[in-house]
């Protein structure tokens, strides 16, 4: 599957969460996603970038523009070298939090995108890939 | 980045228009500022206009909820107005229903709600 464009952006401070939102918005607008789909992608990215910062201790967000036949995809990947998630199924449940959140971010982000893939190894880190197609 | 959102004081009401993409600290600062301002002014109502906000995530949703609960304890009503349809659709899918938060379509309807009783 050809990648037409990609960009990596670090997330190490709270302001970087805002930059991730702005960048995902910019890419989604350029790729002519509907306003609702733009908003869903930006919101999912905001949740996952915050998790990456708070629980993962910071990391990187990678954006990719994909083409598969006649459809275009916006892929956003969140990679950290933090403590990892011991029980992914539990973490995805609405209402589960190990901090003081509402436990909505992970499960909510999954509902907001088309493809959601999560890999996590305890002691090594977490990598989440989200994709939306149009 | 901006470090404070201005709060307008008009007769018995406090008015806030959120015009920037808020980072988390800015949202928490607004929560603190509104709480102290309600108690300092004895305001009976708080109107928060989010019509310029292009997304509300779980963090901002939680802050809006905190502001509503805090104002209730201080005997003031909070109403959140002007949420964009795309934002509302996304919030529901995210799983956030903003329980306990009064909402209105626009500033005029929000003021009407605050002026009742
Ligand atoms: N990148 C990560 N590294 C390690 N643990 C994570 C990571 N992302 C999520 N988690 C774990 O998964 C849990 C659930 O995450 P989720 O985003 O759903 O909820 P939350 O962040 O606790 O609250 P909310 O997002 O509603 O503010 C977190 O409490 C945390 O324990
Ligand atoms: Mg979260």
Ramachandran angles phi, psi of B66, nearest 5°: -60, -40
The CB density around residue A39, as the number of other CB atoms within 10 Å, is: 26
pLDDT at B59: 95
> Are B1 and A40 an interchain contact pair (Cβ–Cβ within 8 Å)?
no
3-state secondary structure labels for all residues of chain A: CCEEEEEEEEECCHHHHHHHHHHHHHHHHHCCCCHHHHHHHHHHHHHHHHHHHHCCCCEEEEEEEEEECCEEEEEEEEEECCCCCCCHHHHHCCCCCCCCCCCCHHHHHHHHCCEEEEEEECCCEEEEEEEEEC
Q: Which residue, chain included where needed, has tokens 């939090």?
A: A97
Q: The tokens of B86 are what?
A: 């795309």
Residue B62 contacts A, CB cutoff 8 Å: yes
Q: What is the pTM of this model?
A: 0.96
pLDDT at A100 over 90: no
Task: Please name the residues in contact with B10: beta carbons below 8 A apart, sequence gap of 6 or more.
Answer: none
Between A102 and B2, residue with greater pLDDT: A102
pLDDT of A60 strictly over 70: yes
Q: What is the mean pLDDT of residues B23-27?
A: 95
Give chain A's domains with CATH numbers: 3-133 (3.30.565.10)
- pLDDT on residue B38: 97
Beta bridge partners of B101: none
Percent of chain B at pLDDT > 90 equals 91
With a cut of 80, say whether residue B117 has pLDDT above it. Answer: no
Report pLDDT for B116: 86
Across A59-71, average pLDDT: 96
Residues in chain A whose Cβ is within 8 Å of chain B: 14-15, 17-18, 21-22, 25, 35-36, 38-40, 42-43, 46-47, 50, 94, 101-102, 104-105, 107-109, 111-112
**pLDDT tops 90 at residue B100:** no
Please give the domain boundaries of chain B with CATH numbers for all domains.
7-115 (3.30.750.24)
Candidate from A17, A39, A94 with C-beta closest to B54 = A39
pLDDT at residue A68 is higher than 80: yes
Pairing of β A71-80 and β A3-11 = unpaired
Question: What pLDDT was estimated at residue A1?
Answer: 80
Write down the mean pLDDT value for chain A. 97
């Amino acid at each position: 599957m050809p990648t037409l464009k990609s960009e990596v952006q670090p997330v190490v401070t709270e302001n970087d969460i805002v930059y991730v939102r702005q960048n995902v918005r910019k890419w989604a607008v350029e790729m002519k996603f509907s306003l609702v789909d733009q908003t869903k992608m930006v919101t999912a990215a905001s949740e996952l970038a915050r998790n990456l910062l708070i629980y993962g201790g910071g990391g990187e967000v990678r954006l990719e523009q994909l083409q598969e036949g006649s459809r275009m995809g916006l892929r956003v990947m969140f990679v950290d070298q933090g403590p990892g998630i011991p029980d992914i199924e539990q973490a995805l449940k609405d209402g589960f939090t190990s901090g003081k959140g509402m436990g909505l971010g992970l499960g909510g982000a999954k509902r907001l995108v088309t493809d959601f893939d999560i890999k996590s190894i305890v002691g090594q880190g977490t990598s989440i890939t989200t994709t939306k197609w149009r | 980045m901006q470090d404070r959102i201005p709060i307008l004081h008009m007769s018995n009401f406090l008015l806030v228009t959120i015009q920037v993409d808020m980072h988390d600290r800015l949202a928490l600062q607004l929560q603190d500022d509104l709480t102290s301002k309600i108690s300092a002014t004895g305001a009976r109502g708080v109107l928060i206009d989010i019509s310029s906000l292009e997304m509300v995530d779980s963090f901002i949703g939680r802050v809006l909820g905190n502001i509503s609960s805090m104002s209730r304890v201080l005997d003031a009503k909070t109403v959140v107005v002007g949420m964009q349809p795309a934002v509302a659709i996304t919030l529901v899918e995210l799983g956030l229903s903003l329980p306990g938060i009064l909402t209105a379509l626009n500033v005029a309807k929000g003021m009407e709600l605050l002026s009742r009783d």
